[in-house]
Amino acid sequence: MSDKTSLTYTPLFCEENIWMLIKSLDKQSEIIPLDVLFIINPGNSVALFQQTKSNYSEPIIWDYHVILTTIKGKEALVYDFDTRCDFPISIEDYFENTFKFWSHIDSQFQALIRPINADYYIRHFTSDRSHMKGVICDDAFPAYPVIMNSKEKTPLTLSDCRNCNKITEELPLITPAEYLERIKFHRHM
């Protein structure tokens, strides 16, 4: 799956784009959704390189961003609708391009990763889109209905995913380097 134009995508709704992507990948047994990665920090100002909205040499500052990691065979891949990188791309190449110069970026712009198991995300994530109401015009919202997992007693909201102070077993918070180590371990199991 390398043609992202055939997938459901709405600008500014990365958390829903990834939810829809996982739903479409469920049908492809050779690609196993692993983790939904919320790229966040306490100041809601994460610097990411190689994003389509940035110029080529500078990062863009997002309040948050959401991507998907998968396993295909023994290869870990990243799906990011908003990158100039390949779709998908190896996790090592993605992290090298996206978090470029990470150690030289001011701490207020450094990324943290909130990995959420893809199965958990599909079952629990709920989006009311309130964070975009009054920010963009109505016709810029996704054409499909809001994502509601009403069967779940404890829905997972966008606010839960973005809150750096909320750390649970399902919602850990780690650095990009720690996530890469975690993936290396997972691939060698």
Residues in the chain: 189
The reply to whether 14 belongs to the active site is yes
The reply to whether 85 belongs to the active site is no
Judge if the upstream peptide bond of residue 33 is cis by omega within 30 degrees of 0: no
The reply to whether 124 belongs to the active site is no
Which residue bears the tokens 């077993």? Answer: 169
Which residue bears the tokens 């978090």? Answer: 99
Work out the number of other CB atoms within 10 angstroms of the CB of residue 25. Answer: 19
Joined together, the tokens standing for residue 145 give 């209905």
Cα 151 to chain centroid distance, Å, stands at: 24
Distance CA 186, CA 189 (A): 5
Catalytic residue, from 35, 65, 82, 160: name it.
65
Catalytic residue, from 35, 63, 80, 186: name it.
80
In the three-class reduction of DSSP (H, G, I as helix; E, B as strand; rest coil), residue 19 is classed as helix
The catalytic residues are 14, 65, 80
